[in-house]
Amino acid sequence: MENRYEALKKALSSFTFDSMLNNTVALCEHCALCNEVDVKVKNEPWFNFFCYQFVRNIETLYNIIYLDYSLKEKRCNTLTYWIHDKITNYYDKPNINMKNVDIFSEILNVWKNINSRKYKNDKYTCTIPVKEEPKNLVEMKRKKIMSDYCENYYTIKSLLTRNVHVNCHIYYDYFKDSFLEFSENIQGHEEECLGISNCHHFCRNHDPDDLLNNSKCKVIEISNDKKEYIKQEDCEKLKTQAVSEVKCETNQIKVSEFTFSDNRAIILILFSLWGIFLSFLFLYK
């Protein structure tokens, strides 16, 4: 049985793309463009690692768009969120010397060079974000959660309603988590949801096919590390069996009786006779 990460990576393209974004860089066709940045940071190891990742991600993203154009908006938005998240949560820290360089602007320049020099067809490239536009990372993350949920819903549905139940516990648990996350994030942001591609029919009815209850492989998690599950129907059977096997047994506890055949009785009689003898002897004297 596959682990959760591997199973989801094979089943969900959004999950696959997210995991790819943070992979280390092996081959990178256009990484030389990372040398055409501010001289203050171009030789910094942390910047080189970030920039190489970004360029590799652009190459992968444009190949994805070429193969499936319908994913263009979602994957481009995901990459933009990844850039802001990396800069804010990983590199804009006291232990990283950014040397007063606007890292986001430098990455945008690399992006512009890739689009203008390496890719001639704008149809399969992302629209480069405008630097002046203020970015709310919380809002970007919320939109990504909504977008991923809407994209994955029908794929998850096919996995939860088919007769072959390979890894169904993983898919059900993932759907349950993503459903709760989507429901929490959409509160007060229905209009925002309506503006996301292919999300309009989930904004008010978050689970239109009631997968939480209609899934053929509902499971119950029995460990906190998401490694042990039991099917709900099996759990109910075990509960019924456990109740039926509970029995109240009456056990007779034998209390030992004191009889004259007991050795303890003989000893007590001897001591009593000896006491009587001593008493008569005392009175006689």
pLDDT of 222 above 50: no
pLDDT of 6 above 70: yes
3 state SS for 135-188: CCHHHHHHHHHHHHHHHHHHHHHHHHHCCCCCCHHHHHHHHHHHHHHHHHHHCC
Q: Is 223 exposed, middle or buried (0-12, 13-18, 19+ CB in 10 A)?
A: exposed
- Please tell me whether residue 97 adopts helix, strand or coil conformation: coil
Percent of the chain with pLDDT strictly greater than 70? 79
pLDDT of 219 above 90: no
pLDDT of 218 above 50: yes
Which pair of structure tokens corresponds to residue 151?
């994209």
Residue with tokens 């969900």: 12
User: Distance between the two ends of the chain, CA-based, in angstroms?
Assistant: 99
Task: Provide the pLDDT confidence category of residue 267 given band limits of 50, 70 and 90.
Answer: confident
pLDDT at 248: 44
pLDDT at 244: 58
H-run or E-run covering 229: strand 229-231
Rounded CA-CA distance 218/200 in Å is: 27
Gyration radius (Cα) of the chain, Å: 37
pLDDT of 269 above 90: no
CB distance 50 to 91 below 8 Å: yes
- Per residue in 153-205, pLDDT (tens digit) is 999 999 999 887 788 899 999 999 999 999 999 999 999 999 999 999 999 99
pLDDT at 57: 97
- Per residue in 104-114, pLDDT (tens digit) is 999 999 999 99
Which pair of structure tokens corresponds to residue 198?
């292919």
Question: Rounded to 5 degrees, what are φ and ψ at 30?
Answer: -115, 20
Chain-centroid distance, C-alpha 143: 18
